Structure 1
Amino acid sequence: MSLAPPRSRSGRIKIDVLIPAIDKDLETLPFVIDAIRKQVKHPIGKMMIVSPNSPRIKALCAQKKCTFVHERTVLPITKKQIRYRSKRWERSGWLLQQLLKLSGDRLGSSRYFLTMDADTVLIRPHVFWQKGKPVFYCRSWSHPEYFRVSQRLMGRKRAAPSSFVAHYMLFEKAKLARMKKRMEARHGTRWYQAILRSIDRSKQFGFSEFELYGNFVYAANPKGVVLKRCLNKSLNQSVKSISPKRIKALASTFRSLSFHKRRGYSLKPKGLRK
């Protein structure tokens, strides 16, 4: 029997926060941090920024009272060792930040941690635990390759009716550790090596940490989770150019804003749906 999660005086469970980031995320990262503190309705323990050895990110951590974590202390592999690229795109760093999120069970002291993409800003209040169940924010479409790779890794097909790629997710450390142990037992190697070996490197969108973990939790107990629509909006402009008035207007329809296209790619190709 699992123990009930520890709660604060407000009745909300306490969570840590983990955000992988690099220098080019500095345009959005301050807004991401501020929005988490405003919109996440849980007591926050450590706010951890996992990054290369960047003086600029260290300075931001000091300014925003976050904990800087050098990515080399989290994973024994680097972006250079991943080599996930083609003549048209470079995705090694994109994959590395996913592996860093999946390493969060080794960081912080809370039983739960929220991971957040460094280019996604919350604009409405969020809870991640409701009526004794974790809350997952979901969307209706995804990349089929995400599910093919997850099936190779875990030996089971997609379980959930929706996609878990909302650009943020609450992880429970014990469940995450259990999932990684199952991968290691199945593949006879460390969990991150199993992921790297399972990816089709000819595919630009070859893996999702959110689909992997979300479906692992959902398959174990579909009635034990709460699924909510993520209502995310991708914008092709600078976060600094959006006025408070427009954010308020957008918040009537959306829960979060993402600025993916500033990185030179769109996450939703034509023709891909649920």
Structure 2
Amino acid sequence: MSLAPPRSRNGRIKIDVLIPAIDKDLETLPFVIDAIRKQVKHPIGKMMIVSPDSPRIKALCAKKKCTFVHERTVLPITKQQIRYRSKRWERSGWLLQQLLKLSGDRLGSSRYFLTMDADTVLIRPHVFRQKGKPVFYCRSWSHPEYFRVSRKLLGRRRTAPSSFVAHYMLFEKAKLAQMKKRIEARHGTRWYQAVLRSIDRSKQFGFSEFELYGNFVYAANPRGVVFKRCLNKSLSQSVKSISAKRIKALAGSFRSLSFHKRRGYSLKPKELKK
């Protein structure tokens, strides 16, 4: 019996999709789902929306033919237990959705799964495997705290030349499971507890699941990955206010659009610290 991942007629590997979401994402989520089906050039298996018990999200899943997954079946911790906040900001939910993405190796049946932020819409075609190598969409700047925590978790300095924070990423389940086992062996506790204990809770941007996994894969085989510029544009307006004509124009310069509403969510870019 062949253990090779299933492929489509054009040779591209089948993938699942995982999107953590809550009710506030319902404005963008339908557009995110539609864009994945249009722009991701892989056959898609399960499209999974991981959420609290929300009738509105369940209704959207039924309408869009997605699989609803209750977040409590994925992780044994809740947003209330994380307690990652200050007097000025609340980041517990932001951290929880990262941990849910890192739990995707327990969901679906495909060897690979794509995670997507629920406020980011693809506007150009995307491929995530190329000549047997994973394709990572990257940017030139990041937050130094992401690398400090990753080093604490895995005992390795950052080695990749770019940042993996692009609002979406393809994970290979076997490599993700290997990374989490390494964290557990190093810290003597469950991987998600190790993450929670490693974060400096005085920092608003204290952890990145994409930097953690991307640098883990890159460190193991630097020549075994493909980098592409993510070319993401952040917008403050409603996704519903963007005309098809403007999206077509933006697609000439960008691959995706992110609709960040919360003040302070997206900071001005700064150069990566080497």
**TM-score of the two chains, using structure 2 as the length reference:** 0.97
Find the residue that maps to 1:263 and give its secondary structure. coil
Q: Per the alignment, in what secondary structure is the counterpart of residue 181 of structure 1?
A: helix
Judging changes above 3 Å, is the alpha-carbon distance between structure 1 residues 262 and 84 closer, same or farther for their aligned structure 2 residues?
Answer: closer
CA distance in structure 1 between the partners assigned to 2:54 and 2:269 by the alignment: 33
Q: Secondary structure at the match of 1:178?
A: helix
Indicate conservation of the 8 Å contact 1:260/1:267, yes or no. Answer: no
Deviations 1:46-71 (A, max 9, x none): 00000000000000000000000000
Residues 147 and 201 from structure 1, CA distance in 2 versus in 1: closer, same or farther, beyond 3 angstroms? same
Tell me, what secondary structure is at the counterpart of 1:153?
helix
Residue 273 (structure 1) shift: 7.1
Residues 272 and 225 of structure 1: CA distance in aligned 2, closer, same or farther (over 3 Å) = closer
Q: Equivalent pairs: percent with the same residue?
A: 92
Asked if 1:234 is matched to 2:270, the reply is no
1:206 partner SS:
coil
Structure 2 spans left out of the alignment, 5+ residues: none
Corresponding pairs, count:
274
Q: Which runs of 5+ in 1 are unaligned?
A: none
1:91 deviation in Å?
A: 0.1
Deviations 1:190-222 (A, max 9, x none): 000000000000000000000000000000001
Matched-pair contact (CA < 8 Å) for 1:235–1:259 = yes
Change (3 A) 1:269 1:137: closer
Contact 2:16 2:112 in 1 (8 A): yes
1:112-167 Cα offsets, whole Å, 9 max, x none, are: 00000000000000000001111000000000000000000000000100000000
- 1:271 and 1:9, CA in 2 relative to 1: closer, same or farther beyond 3 A? closer
Q: Is the 8 A contact 2:16 2:44 kept in 1?
A: yes
Distance change (3 Å), C-alpha of 1:91 and 1:262 = closer
Matches within 5 A, 1:113-124: 113-124=113-124
Q: Classify the secondary structure of the residue corresponding to 2:196.
A: helix
> 8 Å contact 1:152–1:198 — kept in the other structure?
yes
TM-aligned CA deviation for residue 261 of structure 1: 3.2
- Equivalent residue, structure 1, for 2:210: 210
Aligned-pair distance for 1:266? 1.9
- 1: CA distance between counterparts of 2:222 and 2:159? 8
Relative to structure 1, the CA distance from residue 15 to residue 271 in structure 2 (aligned partners, 3 Å threshold; closer, same or farther) is closer
Distance 1:270 1:178, change over 3 A: closer
Q: Distance in 2 between matches of 1:269 and 1:4?
A: 40
User: Normalising by structure 1, what TM-score?
Assistant: 0.97
Q: Contact 1:20–1:49 at 8 Å: present in 2 too?
A: yes
Q: Is the contact between residue 5 and residue 110 of structure 2 (CA under 8 Å) also seen in structure 1? A: no
Give the CA deviation at 1:269.
5.6
- Shift of the 133–28 alpha-carbon distance from structure 1 to 2, 3 Å rule, reads same
Does the 8 A contact of 1:135 with 1:228 survive in 2?
yes
Secondary structure, aligned partner of 1:194: helix
Following TM superposition, by how much is the alpha carbon of 1:271 offset from its aligned partner in structure 2, in angstroms? 6.9
Shift of the alpha carbon at 1:6? 3.0
Contact 2:141 2:272 in 1 (8 A): yes
C-alpha contact (below 8 Å) 1:187/1:194 kept by paired residues: yes
* Deviation readout 1:218-263 (Å, 9 max, x if unpaired): 0000100100000000001100010000000000000000012346
Task: Tell me how far 1:8 sits from its aligned partner.
Answer: 1.9
CA distance in 1, matches of 2:183, 2:68: 29
SS at match of 1:257: strand
Question: Does the aligned pair in 2 maintain the 1:140–1:273 contact within 8 Å?
Answer: no
